[in-house]
Amino acid sequence: MAEKTTLDHSLLRNVNAGRRLEKAQETNVQTAKSEVKIAIKDKTVTLIKRKKRYQQEVQKLEIISKFTDEESERLYQLRCEKSADLTDDNNDGDDDGDDEDSSEYTDDEQEKTKEQKEFITTHKSNIKEYGEHHYHDAQKFLEDHVELVSEETVNYMVGWCIHEEMHEYFFFMEHLAQQVMFIKSIIRIIQSSKSDPTQCVQTFFERMANDKQYEHEFLHELSAFKERIEHMHDKIMMILL
């Protein structure tokens, strides 16, 4: 059951990221479509190029939508299996409490999704600003906005990383990945030390500056994270093949 729960969380993150990518790509499609209309009206020589770009953007949207739908279907099937497992356990143990646990799990996931949306609605502008900050400014920004040190920020920025990878903005994707790993590392310090979050932000950057082994381990994790983003991109692109 623990393995299925881990997979559930992974699929849910993929679906949420996919939906955000869909929304962003729909905007790209509309922009490209508008450019085609302008080219037709003005009778410019860029019409063919703009039509081609529009077709490419539509194709990307189709790829993202297909990937998201498939991940959503996998998530649905997994939850059906988990529900069946809980039902079997309930029948075997003759314990009515398991059905309640199953319901609570579903409600819990719905609550997490709601909290994620509310968090992003409130903090999106600061997350965007943080994502664009330079390494040397990140510490001060997180100290001033310590509420961003959260799984909700990580979830949103993972989707952002995938979006940049999809559009081949590789340098910026790598920058965002670093910013994500800053937060993930600080969260670990908070969880292990139970200290004040602002102090944990300072602790992280002090370790990065003064502990070469810690910095090496961070860079290793960062490299692995970027590989996962690239793998996600490859999975999406393979759908087209």
Q: What are the tens digits of pLDDT across the range 10-57?
A: 666 666 676 667 677 677 777 777 877 777 777 665 777 878 877 887
d(CA 106, CA 103): 5
Cβ distance 47 to 40 under 8 Å?
yes
Helices then strands, each counted (H, E), the chain: 8, 0
- From residue 206, how far is each of 2, 5, 194, 203, 209 by CA, in Å? 35, 35, 18, 5, 5
Mean pLDDT of the chain: 77
Give the residue, 202 or 108, on which the prediction is more confident.
Answer: 202
Identify which of 122, 88, 123 has the alpha carbon closest to the alpha carbon of residue 102: 88
pLDDT at 103: 42
Sign of torsion over alpha carbons 47, 48, 54, 57? negative
Residue spans of the domains in the chain: they are: 1-95, 118-241
At the fourth CATH level, which superfamily is domain 118-241? Cdc37, Hsp90 binding domain (1.20.58.610)
**165 vs 205, which has greater pLDDT?**
205
Q: Do the beta carbons of residue 184 and residue 213 sit within 8 Å?
A: no
The segment with the largest mean pLDDT, out of 3-17, 74-88, 167-181, 192-206, is: 192-206
**pLDDT for 2:** 56
pLDDT at res. 102: 42
pTM of the model: 0.59
User: What distance in Å separates the CA atoms of residue 177 and residue 213, rounded to the nearest whole number?
Assistant: 20
Contact 53, 32 (CB under 8 A): yes
Q: Is the pLDDT of residue 77 over 90?
A: no
The count of other CB atoms within 10 Å of the CB of residue 186 is 23
